[in-house]
């Protein structure tokens, strides 16, 4: 136990330089995008002197390293800058939008895990069976289909033709009052508020985007589960369990336990990736999430939303990876040695 605490203490110390590095790199990259925010903000009729004074006001006349230092200094005070598009502090904007993305991505990932793990386990049990063949085809096509296209197909079928799904215009019906934000996830907040109407509407809006992301991202989980499970079921300890007359279901369960660390790894990588990777689906469904916000920022030389998003995603990924490390300790007694 002490060793685990010591390990996490060490991990946490490294978080600060990691974050600083991420901020530095993304700052330089965002700054290298051509486009002058002062010109964009003032419009085509602005006089050069007005532009110059705005640039001075925004600190854009400073050398790059000074701009960076000012940004970091503000960061330490919890100030992520202001978006000139929304004219609101980036922190406020992100606190509002990040949970939307997180809710979408989390539910999508849950669906992907259910599909990927169960299909992968069954495929590994009978490597020549029809489920294994289905899994091969599924894994291949899930990797090949673009998500925004798949989203449009689903919208066409379930909204336009069948009319089962609500219009792809946000996270909740326009006429339904959203619940008081507590976690920021509409479904959970609605449940907490006991507002069944809002819960129903929010859930209905989740279905198509979650299907899109879940179905397409189950591919890597499926492949990893299948490959690791096949290896585990062929390993010495599985064969020995069969020689000992252990029932097949139990042998499979034990093999899955041994395969879990690899599966958890791919899930954690996907989780971090999807925060930014879901942006096209967010746009298709007008989700109003953080990814969409960051892309707007990139397109309009509005750098603070972009940097804020990068920072949020980085912190989120680090949290996920630390949680996964903790899981490894629980999953495998050999690691704590």
Residue 299: C-alpha distances to residues 30, 180, 270, 294 (Å): 11, 32, 25, 9
Per CB under 8 A, the segment of 57-65, 163-171, 201-209, 230-238 that binds other proteins is: 230-238
For other proteins, the binding residue among 6, 234, 286, 323 (CB under 8 A) is: 234
For other proteins, the binding residue among 114, 156, 239, 299 (CB under 8 A) is: 239
- Rounded to 5°, the CA angle 44-49-54 comes to 80
Provide the minimum distance between the beta carbon of 337 and other proteins in the complex, in angstroms, as a whole number: 7
For other proteins, the binding residue among 72, 180, 242, 299 (CB under 8 A) is: 242
| 240 contributes a contact to other proteins by CB under 8 A | yes
Provide the minimum distance between the beta carbon of 244 and other proteins in the complex, in angstroms, as a whole number: 4
Provide the minimum distance between the beta carbon of 114 and other proteins in the complex, in angstroms, as a whole number: 23
Q: Is 40 helix (H, G, I), strand (E, B) or coil?
A: helix
Per CB under 8 A, the segment of 131-139, 221-229, 241-249, 266-274 that binds other proteins is: 241-249
| 244 contributes a contact to other proteins by CB under 8 A | yes
For other proteins, the binding residue among 59, 237, 319, 323 (CB under 8 A) is: 237
- Rounded to 5°, the CA angle 224-227-229 comes to 100
Q: Which of residues 246-285 bind other proteins (CB under 8 A)?
A: 246-248, 250, 254, 257-258
User: Which residues are within 8 A (CB) of 249 and not within 5 positions of it... i.e. 6 or more apart?
Assistant: none
| 332 contributes a contact to other proteins by CB under 8 A | yes
| DSSP per position, 194-237 | T-HHHHHHHHHHHHHHHHHHHHHHHHHHHHHHHHHHHHHHHSHH
| 32 contributes a contact to other proteins by CB under 8 A | no
182 by Cβ neighbours in 10 Å (0-12 / 13-18 / 19+) ranks as exposed
Provide the minimum distance between the beta carbon of 200 and other proteins in the complex, in angstroms, as a whole number: 42
Footprint of other proteins (CB under 8 A): 234, 236-237, 239-248, 250, 254, 257-258, 331-334, 337
């Amino acid at each position: 136990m002490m060793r685990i605490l010591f390990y996490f203490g060490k991990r946490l110390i490294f978080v600060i330089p990691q974050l600083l590095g991420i901020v530095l790199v993304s700052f330089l990259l965002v700054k290298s995008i051509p486009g002058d925010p002062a010109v964009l903000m003032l419009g085509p009729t602005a006089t050069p002197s007005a532009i110059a004074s705005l640039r001075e006001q925004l600190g854009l006349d400073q050398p790059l390293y000074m701009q960076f230092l000012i940004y970091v200094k503000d960061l330490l005070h919890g100030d992520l800058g202001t978006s000139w598009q929304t004219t609101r502090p980036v922190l406020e904007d992100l606190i509002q939008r990040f949970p939307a993305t997180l809710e979408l991505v989390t539910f999508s990932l849950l669906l992907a895990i259910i599909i990927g793990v169960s299909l992968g386990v069954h495929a590994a049990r009978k490597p020549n069976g029809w489920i294994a063949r289905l899994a091969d085809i599924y894994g291949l096509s899930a990797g090949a289909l673009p998500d925004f296209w798949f989203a449009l197909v689903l919208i066409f079928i379930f909204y336009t033709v069948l009319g089962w799904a609500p219009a792809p215009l946000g996270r909740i019906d326009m006429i339904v009052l959203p619940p008081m934000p507590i976690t920021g996830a509409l479904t959970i907040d609605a449940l907490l508020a006991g507002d069944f109407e809002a819960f129903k509407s929010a859930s209905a809006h989740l279905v198509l985007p979650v299907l899109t992301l879940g179905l397409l991202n189950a591919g890597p989980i499926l492949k990893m589960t299948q490959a690791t499970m096949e290896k585990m079921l062929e390993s010495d300890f599985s064969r020995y369990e069969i020689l000992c007359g252990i029932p097949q279901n139990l042998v499979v369960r034990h093999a899955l336990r041994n395969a879990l660390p690899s599966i958890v790894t791919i899930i954690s990588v996907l989780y971090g990736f999807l925060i930014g990777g879901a942006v096209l689906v967010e746009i298709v469904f007008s989700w109003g999430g953080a990814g969409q916000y960051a892309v707007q920022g990139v397109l309009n030389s509005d750098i603070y939303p972009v940097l804020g998003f990068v920072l949020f995603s980085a912190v989120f990924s680090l949290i996920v990876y630390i949680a996964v490390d903790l899981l490894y300790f629980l999953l495998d007694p050999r690691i704590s040695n």
